Structure 1
Amino acid sequence: MVQTTATRLKNRLRRTDGQLQGILKMVDEGRDCQDILTQLAAVRSSVERIMGVVVAENVKRCITDDQLDTDQQAQLEAALELVVKNH
């Protein structure tokens, strides 16, 4: 099954929302500050990854396949994958 970019983004956002809901519950339960901070760091990482996906998809849309040769396309894909992983 092929997922569209919008579907993948919505799935990631729903997961992140679930993490935030979990953090709210942790606060209500009076959980330890360290546990809450750990979960907040996970949410931050998730949001940064989502931002990387959005940036990568935007770049892909701005550059058409016929503008690049095969080697350049592979280099672009590798660079965008780094953006997604490290953003």
Structure 2
Amino acid sequence: MEYTDQMKNRVKRVEGQVKAIVRMMEEGKDCRDLVIQMSAARNALDRTIGVVVSTNLEQCVRAQIEKGEDTDAFIQEAVNLLVKSR
């Protein structure tokens, strides 16, 4: 699978959020503010997982259809990945 610049940028944004969280901890910021930032980073990563899995699923399903093969296994695997990520 080819990972797009959009996907990479999403991960880089999460990386920035995590670095900011560490900085907040080092500065002794309020727990509530820290948890809000941690939740935002987790949500951003969850959305990125969705983009990566859905893009991969689309590519795999298209390839299977072109080959005339069954797509059920790919779809089930994608669903399992999403469930496991939660």
Would you call these one fold, judging by a TM-score over 0.5?
yes
Give the TM-score band, short-chain normalised.
0.5 to 0.7
* Number of aligned positions between the proteins: 67
- 2:45, 2:23 → 1: CA distance? 20
TM-score for both structures, normalised by structure 1:
0.67
The one of the two structures with greater contact order (alpha-carbon pairs below 8 A, sep at least 6) is: 1
More displaced 10-residue stretch of structure 1: 4-13 or 26-35: 4-13
Question: Offset at 1:16?
Answer: 0.5
* Cα RMSD, aligned residues only: 2.4
Structure 1 segments, 4+ long, off by >3 Å, are none
1:5-84 correspondence runs (5 A): 5-64=3-62, 67=65
Identity %: 35
TM-score for both structures, normalised by structure 2:
0.68
> Which stretches in structure 2 are left out of the alignment for 5+ residues?
66-81
- 1:60, 1:19 → 2: CA distance? 29
CA deviation profile, 1:8-37 (whole Å, cap 9, x unmatched)? 111001111000111111000000000000
Alignment correspondent of 1:76:
none
Q: Which amino acid aligns with 2:25?
A: V
